[in-house]
Amino acid sequence: MAASAATPLEEYRSLRGALPGQGLAWLRDLRDGALQRFSERGYPTPRDEAWKYTNIAPLLKQSFVPALSLERSREVAPADIAARLFAGAGMPLAVFVDGRFDAALSDLSGLPRGIEVRSLREMLERDGAALETLLTSQAPREPHGFIELNTAFMSDGAYVRIGSEAVAERPLHLLFVSSGAEQPLASYLRNLISVGQGGRAAVIEHYVSLGDAPSLCNVATHCVIERGAALDHYKLNEEGAGAHHFAGLYVEQARDSRYVSHNVAAGGRMIRNDLRCVLAGEGAECDLNGLYLAGGRQHIDNQTSVEHRVPHCTSREWYKGVLDGRARGVFSGHVVVRQDAQKTDAQQMNNNLLLSDEAEIDTRPQLEIYADDVKCSHGSTVGQLNPDILFYLRARGIDEARARRLLVTAFAQDVVARMTAAPVRAWAEHLIMARLAR
């Protein structure tokens, strides 16, 4: 990536032949089409409504080399990986270094029957035709430059398939590592997660960096949840201070399915998440939990969108943010209830805590409703720690720093408490304490 929009085109020209699955005509067309659209529209600017509060102009001044142009990725020591695992959980593990699957660091030996975790590159090269529907069916609500680039350059990622009635007892851990190479790298990941009828699983998308070197991660995850299936999806970001993360998450739910998202954004210089959930079958349910912790000069932007396409669906959304230093938080929660999607129950809440004078929050909950027999609400608050409660605690001998920690932890607690995977919950609690101690 560089200052001019022409560079991705040049990169694409030189890398096009090396991209996986180029033997497939539909995939070639998909990539070419995406790049074509990118070359017409370029990167999003604050003039685009969805990017009003996130200006990427400074980022475009830096240059990143596509990681897939390198011969091989940088060696990562197994000890570095071990340090990032959830203590004592023994989860099946797939490791991606700079956007490339690393079989040596992964451990997929203990996968239960009916559950498949593979590298997308491998799939595209061997069995690409089977992915056509998954890769072409879903589109973002407001496509933008990053999504198009992702489609053009996607080269690897996790392919997760939970077969019909298959149940994964332990969460599947997908670990995405930025190796901190000297040359700033851009990685383009595409994850495909599908849960067959009646299947049940928890998948953890976990983004980390080794060090604080600049990096760019452009990822798109597609989840397809079939009838009566359930997916717990964790997206955890604790990348280093130089990381830029642009993620799209597209979920499509069939009848009576259940999707629970836990989105923790705490790392990186800039994080942008576009989460879109389509309730396409009656009785489908989705819960979106989010927690963003930002300090220093971090910028965290969460854009969520829930579309109630059919009657009798339920959506719940809780996003909480804690902003310190000169951080900026952005939240947009869009709920649309399509015509005739009666008996919809949609609720959304966004709470923000500003801890410093220079932190900023821009929040934008939105309801768009075209049916009448619905129950929809949203709420949004911005505030600070209640001085009375602080006083109460201090009057009981708790020093101010500790009292503040207690209150912030309590503020974030309900989002954390909804995580069902105990190891991740412990990780999140630890993360909050560590952030507050800084």
Size of interface with another protein, in residues (CB under 8 A): 37
Cβ proximity to another protein: between 338 and 425 the closer is 338
The nearest distance, CB 339 to another protein, in angstroms, is 7
φ, ψ of residue 436 to 5 degrees: the values are -75, -25
Nearest-angstrom CA–CA distance, 206 and 190: 14
Counting contacts by CB under 8 A, is residue 368 touching another protein? Answer: yes
Nearest-angstrom CA–CA distance, 431 and 437: 10
Q: Which stretch binds another protein (CB under 8 A): 21-29, 202-210, 300-308, 359-367?
A: 359-367
Counting contacts by CB under 8 A, is residue 23 touching another protein? Answer: no
Strand partners, 287: 260, 316
Counting contacts by CB under 8 A, is residue 356 touching another protein? Answer: yes
Counting contacts by CB under 8 A, is residue 372 touching another protein? Answer: yes
**Beta strands in 57-141, from DSSP E residues, in sequence order:** 65-66, 93-97, 100-101, 115-119
Q: State which of positions 117-156 bind another protein (CB under 8 A).
A: none
Nearest-angstrom CA–CA distance, 94 and 89: 14
Residue among 4, 136, 366, 420 that touches another protein (CB under 8 A): 366
Cβ proximity to another protein: between 33 and 46 the closer is 46
Q: Which stretch binds another protein (CB under 8 A): 103-111, 178-186, 347-355, 422-430?
A: 347-355
Q: Which stretch binds another protein (CB under 8 A): 20-28, 89-97, 216-224, 362-370?
A: 362-370
Amino acid at 423: P
Nearest-angstrom CA–CA distance, 193 and 96: 16
The nearest distance, CB 322 to another protein, in angstroms, is 11
φ, ψ of residue 359 to 5 degrees: the values are -75, 155
CB atoms within 10 A of CB 122: 14
Cβ atoms 114, 194 nearer than 8 A: no
- Helix, strand, coil % in the chain, rounded to nearest 5: 25, 40, 35
**Which helix or strand (DSSP H or E) is residue 333 part of?**
strand 328-337
Counting contacts by CB under 8 A, is residue 197 touching another protein? Answer: no
Residue among 23, 58, 296, 379 that touches another protein (CB under 8 A): 379
Q: Which stretch binds another protein (CB under 8 A): 75-83, 180-188, 355-363, 424-432?
A: 355-363
Residue among 376, 390, 398, 406 that touches another protein (CB under 8 A): 376
Rg from Cα positions in the chain: 21
CB atoms within 10 A of CB 357: 7
- Give the chain's end-to-end CA distance (angstroms, integer): 33
Counting contacts by CB under 8 A, is residue 388 touching another protein? Answer: no
Cβ proximity to another protein: between 141 and 364 the closer is 364
Q: Which of 111, 142, 132, 141 is nearest to 25 (CA)?
A: 132
Cβ atoms 215, 209 nearer than 8 A: yes
Residue among 84, 378, 418, 425 that touches another protein (CB under 8 A): 378
Counting contacts by CB under 8 A, is residue 384 touching another protein? Answer: yes
Residue among 371, 393, 398, 406 that touches another protein (CB under 8 A): 371
Q: Are strands 285-294 and 172-178 parallel, antiparallel or unpaired?
A: unpaired
Instruction: Spell out, one character per residue from 320 to 339, where the chain touches another protein: x when CB under 8 A holds, - when not.
Output: -------------------x
The nearest distance, CB 293 to another protein, in angstroms, is 16
Cβ proximity to another protein: between 212 and 362 the closer is 362
Counting contacts by CB under 8 A, is residue 400 touching another protein? Answer: no
Q: Which of 38, 1, 2, 10 is nearest to 148 (CA)?
A: 38
Cβ atoms 242, 217 nearer than 8 A: no
Q: Which stretch binds another protein (CB under 8 A): 166-174, 241-249, 351-359, 428-436?
A: 351-359
Residue among 75, 340, 399, 400 that touches another protein (CB under 8 A): 340
Residue numbers at the binding site for another protein (CB under 8 A): 49, 53, 339-340, 342, 352, 354-384
